C-alpha cells in the first residue's frame, strides 16, 4: 500500500542554491536504473549544503521540468529524510510528504506521517497516514481519503472503496493490473480483486484489518496459482547455508593471489529458476569474468513468485574474487 512521490517551491530552490554547490549529476532510464545521458528519462543533481550533513537532490525530467526535490543522508538517495515533493512532467505537483531515515537505526526511506497525492490535472487523489513501528522494523500505511479523477470522494475518513493500477510481474510478462476493493479504518479489508487490461480476472485476495490472509491468481491461459504470500524471493537449493558452501567450493584462491575480496553482485534469476545476466557488480572490470563464471555454475534456483506465479527477479550475494592486479 505504498506510493512514492516528491517537491520544492521555486523560492526555496533559489535559497538552497545560494549555499549549496552541485557535486554531481546522475542519469536514470525509465525503470529508474542508472543510465548514460543518451538513454536517460530523468536526471538528478546532487548538492551538498555547507553543513555537510545532508545531500540535496533536485531531479529533472529530460524536458528540464523539476521532477522532485528532497534531502537524503547518502548520495544514492536511499536514506531520504524530511519533506519531499514530486512533480508531473506538466509541472503539477504529484505528491508530498515526509521521509524518515537513520543510519544508526538501520532505517532508510520510511514514509512518515501525512502524505498527499494529486492527479495530473491538479485534482486531489489520495491522503495517506504512515506510522513507523517502535522497533523501526516496518511502517504501516492508512488510506484516509481517495478521490476519482473527476473529484468524487470514494474513501472518507478511512472508509470506502479504493482502486489503483500498477505494472505487475506475471508468469507471462509485465502487465498493467487494476486492483480494487473495500477500505475499513484506513486498511484493506474483505475481498480484493485484480484485473488484466482485457478485464479478465488476475487475482482474488482476502484481507482482514489490513492483513493479507490468502489469495489466488490466474495467468493469461487461465491457470490458477494459490498463495499465502504476495511475493517471495528467489531461493538457492537448500537455502543460504548451501549457497555459502557452493561459493566456497567453487572459488579457490590461486597461489599468486595477493588479496581476496568479497564482491557484492546482483544478478537475474529467471522465472525458470536459471541464473542470468549480471545487473550490478562492485568489482574491477577484470574481476567480472570470475564473478560471471561462478554465477553460471550455480544450479537451478527456486524462482521468485508474485501472487503465486513464477517471475524474473534479481538476487544479491557476495563472491570472493582474487585481486591480483
CB 128 within 8 A of CB 143: yes
pLDDT digits (tens, 9 = 90+) for 109-150: 999 999 999 999 999 999 999 999 888 888 899 999 999 999
Q: What percent of the chain has pLDDT over 70?
A: 89
pLDDT digits (tens, 9 = 90+) for 5-28: 222 222 233 333 333 444 689 999
pLDDT digits (tens, 9 = 90+) for 187-201: 999 999 999 999 999
User: Could you tell me the pTM of the whole model?
Assistant: 0.79
Provide the pLDDT for residue 17.
Answer: 35
CB 225 within 8 A of CB 303: no
pLDDT digits (tens, 9 = 90+) for 246-288: 999 998 766 666 667 788 899 999 999 999 988 888 777 778 8
Nearest of 101, 111, 99, 21 to residue 58 by alpha carbon: 21
Q: Which one has a higher pLDDT value, 42 or 134?
A: 42
CB 146 within 8 A of CB 155: yes
CB 68 within 8 A of CB 85: yes
Nearest of 71, 121, 120 to residue 100 by alpha carbon: 71
| Residue 41 φ/ψ region, left for φ over 0, alpha for ψ in the -120 to 50 degree band, beta for the rest | alpha
Provide the pLDDT for residue 235.
Answer: 97
Q: What are phi and psi of 12, to 5 degrees?
A: -65, -35
pLDDT digits (tens, 9 = 90+) for 285-323: 778 888 899 999 999 999 999 999 999 999 999 998 876
C-alpha cell at 213: 490472509
Amino acid at each position: 500500500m505504498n506510493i512514492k512521490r516528491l517537491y520544492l517551491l521555486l523560492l526555496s530552490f533559489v535559497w538552497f542554491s545560494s549555499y549549496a554547490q552541485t557535486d554531481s549529476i546522475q542519469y536514470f532510464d525509465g525503470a529508474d536504473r542508472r543510465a548514460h545521458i543518451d538513454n536517460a528519462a530523468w536526471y538528478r543533481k546532487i548538492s551538498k549544503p555547507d553543513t555537510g550533513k545532508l545531500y540535496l537532490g533536485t531531479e529533472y525530467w529530460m524536458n528540464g521540468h523539476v521532477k522532485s526535490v528532497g534531502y537524503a543522508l547518502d548520495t544514492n538517495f536511499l536514506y531520504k529524510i524530511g519533506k519531499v515533493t514530486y512533480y508531473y512532467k506538466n509541472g503539477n505537483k504529484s505528491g508530498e510528504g515526509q521521509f524518515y531515515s537513520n543510519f544508526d537505526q538501520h532505517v532508510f526511506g520510511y514514509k512518515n506521517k501525512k502524505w498527499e497525492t494529486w492527479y495530473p490535472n491538479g485534482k486531489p487523489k489520495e491522503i495517506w497516514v504512515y506510522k513507523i513501528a517502535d522497533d523501526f522494523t516496518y511502517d504501516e500505511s492508512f488510506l484516509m481519503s481517495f478521490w476519482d479523477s473527476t473529484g468524487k470522494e470514494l474513501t472518507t475518513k478511512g472508509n470506502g472503496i479504493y482502486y489503483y493500477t500498477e505494472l505487475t510481474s506475471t508468469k507471462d510478462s509485465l502487465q498493467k493490473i487494476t486492483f480494487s476493493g473495500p477500505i475499513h479504518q484506513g486498511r484493506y479489508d474483505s475481498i480484493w480483486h485484480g484485473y488484466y487490461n482485457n478485464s479478465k480476472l488476475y487475482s482474488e485476495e482476502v484481507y482482514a484489518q489490513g492483513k493479507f490472509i490468502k489469495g489466488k491468481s490466474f495467468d493469461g491461459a487461465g491457470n490458477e496459482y494459490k498463495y499465502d504470500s504476495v511475493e517471495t524471493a528467489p531461493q538457492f537449493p537448500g537455502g543460504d547455508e548451501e549457497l555459502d558452501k557452493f561459493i566456497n567450493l567453487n572459488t579457490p584462491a590461486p597461489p599468486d593471489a595477493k588479496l581476496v575480496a568479497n564482491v557484492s553482485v546482483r544478478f537475474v534469476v529467471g522465472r525458470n529458476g536459471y541464473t542470468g545476466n549480471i545487473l550490478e557488480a562492485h568489482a574491477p572490470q577484470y574481476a567480472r569474468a570470475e564473478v560471471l563464471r561462478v554465477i553460471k555454475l550455480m544450479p537451478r534456483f527456486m524462482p521468485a513468485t508474485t501472487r503465486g506465479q513464477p517471475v524474473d527477479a534479481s538476487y544479491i550475494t557476495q563472491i570472493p574474487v582474487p585481486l591480483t592486479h
